[in-house]
Amino acid sequence: MICEHSAPLLNDVRDEAFSHFRTLGFPSRKVERYKYTDIDKLFEPNYGLNLRGLEMGVNPYDVFRCDVPNLSTALYFVVNDRFYLPTTASAHSPLPPDVIVGSLREYAEKGGSIADIIRSHYASLARSADDGITALNTMLAQDGLLIYVPRGVQVDKAIQVVNILRSDVDLMVNRRVLVIVEPGASVRLLFCDDSADDRHFLSTQVVEAFVGDGAHLEMSCLEETHVKNTRVSNVYIRQERDSKVEHNVITLHNGITRNRLDVDLVGEGAECVLNGAVIADKSQHVDNNTLISHLAAHQQSKQLYKYVLNDHSIGAFAGRVLVAEGAQKISSEEINQNLLATADARMYTQPMLEIYADDVKCSHGSTVGQLNDQALFYMQQRGISLKEACMLLQLAFINQVVDSIRLEPLRDRLRYLVEKRFRGELNKCSGCKLCK
């Protein structure tokens, strides 16, 4: 049934992934990169699987109104784990010619040069033999999202992809994304995760991004779901010579989130900037795990992850920077800063360096602290209530990450959403039917 409702190209790697999953199983806490999240517990409940590709009875163009003002994005939707294109959609693409945003399954079935490109990239970076979650996703994914930017093309309009979870029953979805940015090209991507129904959702996601020589990829991921949502996401990025990647991940509201980000810098002069911001309260759990591999000389990397944790929430950050033998002239900075707003919140932090070269400049550090009593006293002396003072300090703390996002309309929108989040308000835009 899985193969019948997918494409032969995707089916070619399915049996091998199943074999790897049978060997690996779900990663336990004994696996170093999963020790802060109990994966077995996440997959214990029974979830439905939409293996026949049944329509979920939602038109996202009618219900989604939470777009970023003044950003003027090229807007696309993925409902659960399938690319959604309504029959009323215009045939005119807002993107340059030859830029593709569409169903991975459909383009794989078309054949021709695009199918050859998919075949040479799909499941080559996200290797199922190395990770149980990646193997599980590869053996179950039936469709996905393809984003292809040809050589030398500069995409001025940001591409916004809205992932909507929709179901009448508890559902597991397996989302797949393949991003190919050819040499000299550039593109900005914005992924927004939302839930349309008050159901338990479990989503696995595997993203493979290939960034060619001199190419530029800016990818921002914003999660605004609900407490019944569990998200396990693995992102794999490969950078060639003189390429640049900026990756931003913002978790504003969730249930349990586990993000893995692996960046392989294989070409000289490659550069990556990774930013993360987490706001969690109640019993929410957010685990970010990163690995940056410097595999050639004259490369740069920078990481900044910040957490604000309230109530009984749990946060985790484990970041490793690997400098391979012979990878000289490397500059790397890794920072994780965390604010525990309550005594019951918990944070686990583990920044790491693994260096096999002698001409490098690498640093790493982490801090875990509470709200500054002197600053709170100072603000109350000037007529600001204690609650408002706490909110302002938390806002100032997390805005360092928000301010680093280069896309100005998105940056301004995030400032607004972050402030609403700290004030305990749900994000509900005028006319939006998703947030009730």
Tell me the per-residue pLDDT of 181-222, one tens digit each, with 9 for 90 and over: 999 999 999 998 888 788 899 999 999 999 999 999 999 999
Q: What confidence score (pLDDT) does residue 92 get?
A: 58
Read off the pTM.
Answer: 0.93
CA–CA separation, 75 vs 80, rounded Å? 16
- Number of C-beta neighbours around residue 206 at 10 A: 28
Closest to 232 measured CA to CA, from 304, 273, 175: 175
- Side by side, the strands of the sheet bearing 100-103 are 100-103, 145-149, 171-181, 201-211, 229-239, 256-265, 285-294, 314-323, 346-355
CA–CA separation, 22 vs 19, rounded Å? 5
CA–CA separation, 159 vs 196, rounded Å? 21
| Residue 102: strand pairing partners | 146
Q: Scanning the structure block, which residue is given the tokens 């801090």?
A: 367
| Residue 273: strand pairing partners | 246, 302
Q: What confidence score (pLDDT) does residue 436 get?
A: 41
Tell me the per-residue pLDDT of 308-332, one tens digit each, with 9 for 90 and over: 999 999 999 999 999 999 999 999 9
Q: What confidence score (pLDDT) does residue 84 get?
A: 84
φ, ψ for residue 133, nearest 5 deg: -65, -40
DSSP letters spanning 169-219: S-EEEEEEEEEEE-TT-EEEEEEEEEESSSS-EEEEEEEEEEE-TT-EEEE
Write the CA distances from 345 to 250, 326, 422, integer angstroms: 19, 42, 16
Q: What confidence score (pLDDT) does residue 86 get?
A: 61
For 44, the token pair is 């214990």
CA–CA separation, 392 vs 8, rounded Å? 54
One digit per residue, the tens of pLDDT, for the chain of length 436 reads 999 999 999 999 999 999 999 999 999 999 999 999 999 999 999 999 999 888 776 666 655 555 555 567 888 889 898 988 765 455 557 889 899 999 999 999 988 899 999 999 999 999 999 999 999 999 999 999 999 999 999 999 999 998 988 888 999 999 999 999 999 999 999 998 888 788 899 999 999 999 999 999 999 999 988 888 999 999 999 999 999 999 999 999 889 999 999 999 999 999 999 999 999 999 999 999 999 999 999 999 999 999 999 999 999 999 999 999 999 999 999 999 999 999 999 999 999 999 999 999 999 999 999 888 888 888 888 888 888 888 888 888 999 899 888 888 788 888 888 888 888 765 444 344 444 4
